[in-house]
A and B are shown apart, each in its own frame.
Chain A
């Protein structure tokens, strides 16, 4: 998303008559144009391969996918449309606020919220030419900070407490990401290595903090490695569903706002200009007078800010405390990598990609899926399979194109081309 539509890349008029670009060339063009065709194909391909896996286990892939789709709650939009229609035609009808679909959709959106943010975290670093594998650690640091500040300051006013907890937790994530950026900028340590190491540092420090006898462990539950629960004042308001039963919290809107912030920062600020310049060509950026080091640091800190915010919203929105077991089991930051890749590092792409992964995650969860259609144990693995395939195919875009063009060198294909 540059100032002009990137699609213009392919714009120069085709030279000469009869110049019909091959499928592979067109694909290549879409890739460069950042179009939506490649990610769509990638996702479709991944789902198809997932279907093959389902088939191999002796189940019906179509029935399974239908059940997963039902489990995501996205069918609610059908109910919603019907309600709108009845409302418009003056037939009284109850708002479908607590149907099964509504409950499922709430869960999907609750998961989508942090995925959008960790997706943005990875995407922002990508735009600066950095591969942030540390979103998981930054997310965890955000979570821990949210627990810390959420259990602090009893009696502070609701809005202020919430604002402080959210902001400080996001800044903690920024600090964690910033360390990797700082190391990259000063001594040139590769961010892939440092962020992986920082992930482990975060995981083990957090495990210690909430572990038995740890400083953040809940004193009232002496035999559980779990943190204290945050104050009521620090909880994010629930705007849809039952606050007692994991209703949808307003963190979703904060995440939406961050999509706008992401796009605006990259495309409408000098900071975003610098980040993109460094991401595309650090040497040219340096020549242009841009400090490459400063941007490495800033990009990683901003990246960490998004991931830290994801952790904060999860804690303050619906988790309210963190258990040692959750710390090691969480993969929100890692799925963020897949979200960013599938979303092509654009705000709109991250929106849709996070919806896809959140839907998959919720739709295949044990609670949602009818065991007669597909074993729930297999189902949650299906999430991992599809996630893995997406990453593989996104990375393999070029490989697919290469295979496509290499095909033309095969003797029989060449023979045909020569006849043509």
Chain B
């Protein structure tokens, strides 16, 4: 590998109100190198990359591209200088073809006005073959998988002659198999001389793919290390600033009575298409049942139905032996005592403009002691908030602080605290650690195990296989709205991954 430096960031500083997002960060990228940018959520990784990509301007510092100082006022300028970025959320138009999406905004034309689609498709095909992307230029985006869509994004950057590629948490949406394929593609790109910045907070990936690793902590760069000699524990310590326990310590479960029973449940999604197709399972007291699956395979709809937020088309939901099919959300909360940590804490779990105290009251504001005969008692809300903030170690503000001003981890603690505090019989934990850093993940995992040991039935739905494997006592795999297999926690990621993509032999669905 050549040691030529393609890109250098020097002393980049970016301030937002009340926070220094980047504090004199230096960063260096060599030709053909995969340089991982590792850090907790809110450590400043995205800010740094957005500055590089021209979406923000730095308050201080300079950017040197191939030795020359640059400063991009817009993403367009960055693209023109050979920088490409693949965002976590793809920016593709579903009804258009792969080639059309790739040439968007830089369409090759005939005689100045007419789109030369043929030339575009040819070029896309060439690039696709050269880098082993295996994409059909004429296929519509809506018909290809998430992993392929990501490759379209990568190809889009290559098509615009990017030789510096920023990948923002690229594996967050992929199955383990797809992630493996992505890594192959990254290695091919690397051989062709493309330099890659790989943003992530997953330690194992970093050790898998990166040549060098830079770690950000609270806006400051705390170190750059080569992969050789780096360990997960060492990187975690750099990231968090203390020792982190990786393995969740738990005793074998002692399941008791059946608390939640779902029988032959079917439901449609918002577009009216079948999302849950005859699912049956049960969750007993004192066990964690994990539901593994690739995103959009009916998990969200399944949870919604159990939580009373979506009407099922068919089937039954029973909690503690009582039928709660088609109950309202309030009945599920108050009567069935189902706690629900929603998968999206911004969309659902919290009212960001409410204070912490008001958020803690979201389920109980109608009941004593929060209120009486419709009259609210703010002081009691605040007292309760103070107690929960203390008990769950929510940092970043007091009862009157706006929930939106907390960090993601603390917001999640708020949600967990609220749901657990109500002493639920069944607790649905949907993606409970999404977007959290290792410290907060540790907290949530321990708490879930503790709640299990209290005798609650816990339904864990997660896209993170590692999470499913380390927490669950039983694992169900969901694929296209069906349970396609039941596994023990001793199963390997590969076995689960195969089942998650519909490739596994049809295992016996749980009762």
A contact set with B: CB distance below 8 Å:
2-6, 8-16, 19-21, 25-26, 28-29, 267-274, 276-277, 280-281, 283-289, 408-411, 414, 417-418, 420
Contact = CB atoms under 8 A, between A and B. Distances in A.
Interface stretch (B122-130, B340-348, B459-467): B340-348
Given A268-B376, A417-B57, A284 B18 contact: no
Given A14-B18, A270-B366, A287-B340, A9 B71 contact: no
A8 B400 contact: yes
Contact of B361 (A16, A273, A410): A273
A16 B18 CA distance: 9
A285 B57 contact: no
Contact of A289 (B330, B342, B347): B330
A229 B401 CA distance: 54
B352 A280 contact: yes
Contacts of A286: 309, 329
Interface of B: 15-20, 23, 57, 59-60, 62, 71, 73-74, 218-219, 307, 309, 328-330, 333-334, 340, 342, 347-355, 357-358, 361-363, 365-366, 371, 374-376, 378, 381-382, 396-402, 404-405
A19 B353 CA distance: 25
A281 B371 CA distance: 21
Given A25-B16, A284-B362, A9 B352 contact: no
Contacts of A15: 18-20, 218-219
A408 B57 contact: yes
For A19, A25, A289, A410, the residue with the greatest tally of chain B CB atoms inside 10 Å of its CB is A289
Contacts of B365: 270, 273-274
Nearest to B71: A414
A417 B371 CA distance: 53
Given A28-B17, A280-B351, 20 more contacts: A2-B358, A2-B400, A5-B400, A6-B402, A10-B18, A16-B23, A21-B17, A21-B18, A268-B375, A270-B371, A270-B375, A270-B376, A280-B352, A280-B353, A281-B351, A283-B347, A287-B329, A288-B363, A408-B57, A418-B62
A12 B334 contact: no
A271 B366 CA distance: 9
A3 B17 contact: no
B17 A25 contact: yes
Contacts of B17: 10, 14, 21, 25-26, 28-29
A13 B340 contact: no
B351 A8 contact: no
Nearest to A268: B376
Contacts of B329: 286-289
Nearest to A17: B20
A103 to B, nearest CB: 43
A13 B405 CA distance: 11
A280 B350 CA distance: 10
A11 B361 contact: no
A410 B74 CA distance: 11
A253 to B, nearest CB: 24
B168 to A, nearest CB: 22
Contacts, number: 150
Contact of B400 (A3, A26, A267, A417): A3
Contacts of B352: 280-281
A247 to B, nearest CB: 38
B73 A411 contact: yes
A14 B374 CA distance: 39
A12 B396 contact: yes
A276 B376 CA distance: 13
Contacts of A20: 15
A277 B381 CA distance: 15
Nearest to B334: A289
B57 A409 contact: yes
A119 to B, nearest CB: 21
A10 B71 CA distance: 30
Nearest to B378: A3
A276 B351 CA distance: 10
B157 to A, nearest CB: 23
A19 B330 CA distance: 45
A355 B333 CA distance: 46
A277 B362 contact: yes
Nearest to A6: B402
A10 B16 CA distance: 11
Given A4-B401, A414-B71, A417-B59, A21 B351 contact: no
A408 B404 CA distance: 26
Contacts of B405: 9-12
Nearest to B331: A289
For B219, B351, B400, the residue with the greatest tally of chain A CB atoms inside 10 Å of its CB is B351
B480 to A, nearest CB: 25
B152 to A, nearest CB: 29
27 contacts: A2-B358, A3-B358, A3-B400, A4-B357, A5-B400, A8-B355, A11-B401, A12-B396, A13-B18, A14-B18, A15-B18, A15-B219, A19-B15, A19-B20, A21-B15, A29-B17, A267-B378, A268-B376, A269-B375, A270-B374, A276-B354, A283-B348, A288-B329, A289-B334, A410-B73, A418-B60, A420-B60
A366 B361 CA distance: 54
B269 to A, nearest CB: 15
Nearest to A413: B57
B473 to A, nearest CB: 27
B379 to A, nearest CB: 9
Contact of A285 (B71, B351, B398): B351
